[in-house]
Structure 1
Amino acid sequence: MKQPQPFAFTAAALGLALMAAVPLAADWPQWRGPLFTGASPGAKDLPVKWSETENVLWRTKLPSWSAATPIIWGNTIFITSAEEGFAPLGSRQGGDGSTHDKIFLLALSRKDGSVLWRHQIDTGNRLYRKQNSASPSPITDGKHVWIMTGNGKFACFTIDGKEIWKRDIQAEYGRFGLNHGYASTPLLHKGRLYVQVLHGMRTDDPSYIFAVDPPTGKTIWKVERPTDAVTESPDNYATPQIVNVKGEEQLVISGGDYATGHSLAGGRELWRIGGFNPRNNPMNRTIASSLVIGGMVFTPSTRGRPFIAFRAGGDGVITGKNEVWTNNLGSDVPTPATDGTYIYVLGDNGVMHCLEAATGKVMYEGQRIELGTYSASPLLADGKIYSTSEEGNTTVIKAGPVFEILGVNKLDNHTLASPVAVGNQIFLRTADYLYCFQKK
């Protein structure tokens, strides 16, 4: 591991950098939660144990499967789904999108799981091995909900289900060219939506990012995001982030062998850092999103490849200048979770690492949780970390620098979606159901 460089933030200071946003933590408004860290600071008294019958407040049958995470505001849950009869999870058939190909946005009652409304937002759903075109998660501000499908249908609804606008991004800007289909979720921040399309495996068109006015759906700006990555390495399935650099907020885009910072005003690239693909592997597609704490960015790459912590900011190429620490504990698919003091890295092979955020010090490494494959990102809440495997098994471990398994909970269904915690409840989406777990 690269030795930590002089850095003004201590672990305590990094933790405090997250505390300012805690008042927003009563809901789960977008994919990685209220702070975009995989943490739910307001969640308390969560269950450690559950099953198909234990601590189940309710269970609702969903039309079909998707990797999309449930999004929660107040008493309403928003979730996307494939159509009933779509090719089963793990199927190698149905990729032509010819049958049962509709994509839906649903609103459910948090009280009992009943469906409040359901709208078709797209057709032509396609199967891409572990995901389909319903995989991007919704986003909400409590008044509206936005969704962009893997086919590029971008839509806005009121929370009561009235459609406000809809766009077709592929029709406007060209077809997506990712090997496993588009799956990035837009980012909502201070009255703007930010969208990235980083691709290259199945297209020669450039990657790009754009900003959208949420009420109208109109593009505010759009810029290319160049890379010298080749073959599949330009493909990225992550979500943008926001970092504060000396009082200036900047957009962070990771993927295509680089992390880049962009002006929120017009999208201009301000800086870029490399080192994520040191062997120039042409198949180095990236999936996990970056974490941001204060002015620090923590960007993982694929399993066994660099995980780089760096100070955001500067001008031009900052590779070799702004790194604070690096190691080879890239998580591949799951996005790490953090409380600002520790970073919890879950590999897709079911091993857990804990790092001190400020220094990169390894608190523990390679600890095995329940055997399985992990695509869902870990949830950090109520002093615990919840990690759910594709087989539907959730390992609960104690948060902190000492590894301790508190329990393993098994369901009779596969899942790709990340668990969510709000209040004293945990929400978990499997291939067939949405569960709400609460202590009884």
Structure 2
Amino acid sequence: MMKTLSSISLSLSLSLVAMATPNWPTQRGPHFNGTAGEGMKLPAKFSPTENVVWKAQVPGSSAATPVVWGDYVFVTAADHEKKELHAICLDASTGKLRWSKVVSKGRVHLDDRSDFASPSPVTDGKRVAFFFGTGELIVFSMDGKEEWRKNLIPEGGKYFAFQWTFSTSPILSGDNLIMQILQRDVPFHYGGMSRGPEGATKIPSYLVAFDFATGKQSWMANRPGDAVAESLEAFTSPVLSRTADDGGNLQLLVAGGDALTGHDPTNGKELWRWGTWNPTKIGHWRLVPSPVAGSGVALACAPKKSPVYAVDMKTGKLLWKSEDPEVSSDVCTPLYHDGHFYVLNGEYKDKRISCIEPRSGKVLWTGAIGTRAKIEASPTLGDGKIYFQDHNGKVFVVAADPKKFSILHQVEFGDRSVRDQRCSLALANNRVFLRSQKTLYCFGE
């Protein structure tokens, strides 16, 4: 009974905080679904010179989403010249530096597509956690004091058993910090480097939870997959959602290894599993988009122009899959708001965004964004507006209107001095936070 009451309490507290918070505490916001807290007033129009509250320089590139809590903004950076990984805190009101820590020195990437600073931080307003693709997990107090640190690379290895530069973002559930590590099951060599612990015969994929205050391990659960080779690899992050918008059980959703799974967030136990979108065992189908859920439906985007799949969170059974090739996502994580999914296809021709009913799969509309550049930043939503940017740093604002598609604003930022733009926008405290690689902008009316 105590365990049941604890689970109910966690679910209710998560719901209340998510609805009321003005913060953006995780990669996908307070609801874990790309949507900001209610009641904010966010600008529809902004530019490098319009509605700028402040802008600040950061020492390197990153694909991480800024995380905001009150007067604190947390970002990561990979300084490719100095070969340093940074954990950074700025003042949310002024953009002034509060503190910056060099968390490691040495290699900052394994390929030319991304770097080890891609995972987003997470905070509860008492402390903040940073994870890097090097395996370093570091927790700081809000004023920058290091509280604990762990490296999740298995003994005997230098890198995860991952072909590309590893990334996944931590989340918080109650007192626990939860991580997922979905990787290949055997070591291999790629790019002249060993991936995974040398000599290992079986490398696990798993979920692990640590007490956020102490770093003590709370639980660990294997999360196996029957995929092969690169298809075992996932850049996804776990998310929390309830089995109904007005209540229901809280579940931890994990996508990767050719499967979507639901877990008990108090112990990692697998509750259900759906798969697969890859019945022929294609070996290069790594997964990038994280799952998203709403109306009791969990959505998973299969890779490489494949369909989107919707699964009932109570039964673990497939409800529908998309039939229109426009409704697909190889990289962008969809969002959920007010009874609708919004799926951004950053690969399709002039790029498309679709509004979909969760339980039926009915596509209410699909709109053309009108950019030739790829889109790999995930959409975020607040105050009736959907925000995202393309690789060239062009930012789009689309109306979150299930009745019709309309672009409210588009503006060039165009900072390609370091890398393509992949950062999602954060929406907090009536402000829009945009990471344009070495510059962090704060916009407001």
Tell me the residue number matched to 1:106: 88
**Aligned equivalents of 1:416, 1:410: Cα separation in 2:** 14
Does 2:111 align with 1:128?
Answer: yes
Offset, 1:218 = 1.8
Give the Cα separation in 1 of the matches to 2:125 and 2:345: 33
Partners of 1:300 and 1:57 in 2: CA distance: 36
What's the CA shift string for 1:198-245, capped at 9, x where partnerless?
112755622111111111112222222211211211110111122435
Give 3-state SS (helix, strand or coil) of 2:83's partner.
coil
| 1:360-387 deviations in Å (ceiling 9; x for gaps) | 1101135234331111111111111112
2:170 pairs with one of 183, 186, 193:
186
Amino acid at match of 1:212: F
| Paired residues, number | 402
1:437 lines up with 2:443 in the alignment: yes
The Cα of 1:128 is off from its aligned counterpart by 2.7
- Could you tell me how far 1:269 is from its partner in structure 2? 2.3
Q: Is the CA contact (8 Å cut-off) linking 1:31 and 1:185 kept in structure 2? A: yes
Which of residues 90, 113, 121 is equivalent to 1:138? 121
Aligned counterparts of 2:91 and 2:335: Cα–Cα separation in 1: 27
Distance 1:149 1:19, change over 3 A: closer
CA contact (8 A) 1:298 1:308 kept: yes
Shift of 1:37: 1.1
SS at 1:297 equivalent: strand
Tell me, yes or no, if the aligned pair for 1:277 and 1:305 is still in contact at 8 Å: no
1:291 aligns with 2:292: yes
Q: Distance in 2 between matches of 1:169 and 1:78?
A: 22
* TM-superposition CA deviations, 1:101-151 (whole Å, max 9, x none): 211111101111010111111223224332100111110000100111111
Q: Which amino acid aligns with 1:190?
A: G
One-letter amino acid matched to 1:404:
S
2:320 paired residue number? 325
- Within 5 Å, give how 1:265-304 maps onto structure 2: 265-304=266-305
Q: What residue is the counterpart of 1:118 in the other structure?
A: 100
Counterparts of 1:208 and 1:378, CA distance in 2: 28
Q: 1 or 2 for the larger relative contact order (CA 8 Å, sep ≥6)?
A: 1
Match of 1:336 in 2: 334
Distance 1:154 1:334, change over 3 A: same
CA distance in 2, matches of 1:400, 1:193: 35
Change in 2 beyond 3 A, CA 1:262/1:308: same
- Cα distance in 2, alignment partners of residues 341 and 264 from structure 1: 24
Cα distance in structure 2, aligned partners of 1:366 and 1:280: 33
C-alpha distance in 1 between matches for 2:444 and 2:60: 24
Contact in 2 for aligned 1:353/1:367 (Cα 8 Å): no
Query: Could you report, residue by residue, the CA deviation over 1:397-435 in whole angstroms, capped at 9, with x for unpaired residues?
Result: 111121111121111314211011113211100111000
74 and 360 in structure 1: CA distance in 2 versus 1, 3 angstrom threshold: same
Indicate the larger mover: 397-406 or 173-182.
Answer: 173-182
Deviation at 1:323, TM superposition (A): 1.6
2:224 to 219, 223, 226: 226
Residue matched to 1:403: 405
Structure 1: runs of 5+ lacking an equivalent? 1-17, 88-99
Q: How far off its partner does 1:337 sit?
A: 1.2
Q: How does 1:12-411 map to 2 (within 5 A)?
A: 20-42=16-38, 44-83=40-79, 86=80, 100-124=82-106, 125-172=108-155, 174=157, 175-200=159-184, 202-203=195-196, 205-245=203-243, 247-314=248-315, 318=316, 322-328=317-323, 329-349=327-347, 350-365=351-366, 367-401=368-402, 402-411=404-413
TM-score of the two chains, using structure 1 as the length reference: 0.86
Aligned-partner Cα distance in 2 for 1:249–1:34: 15
Q: CA deviation at 1:193?
A: 1.2
SS of the residue corresponding to residue 153 of structure 2 reads helix
Mean alpha-carbon deviation: is it higher for 267-276 or for 137-146? Answer: 267-276
Q: CA deviation at 1:43?
A: 5.5
Deviation at 1:33, TM superposition (A): 0.3
Structure 2 portions without partners, runs of 5+:
1-13, 189-194, 197-201
SS at match of 1:232: helix
> Which TM-score applies when normalising by structure 2?
0.85
**8 Å CA contact retained: 1:243, 1:296:** no
Match of 2:425 among 415, 419, 426: 419
CA distance in structure 1 between the aligned counterparts of 2:105 and 2:31, rounded to whole angstroms: 32
Using the TM superposition, give the Cα deviation of residue 21 of structure 1 relative to its aligned residue in structure 2, in angstroms: 4.9
What is the distance in 2 between the residues matched to 1:191 and 1:176?
A: 27
- How far 1:192 moved relative to its partner? 0.8
Change over 3 Å in CA distance of 1:354–1:173 after alignment to 2: farther
1:213–1:22 distance in 2 versus 1, CA, 3 Å: closer
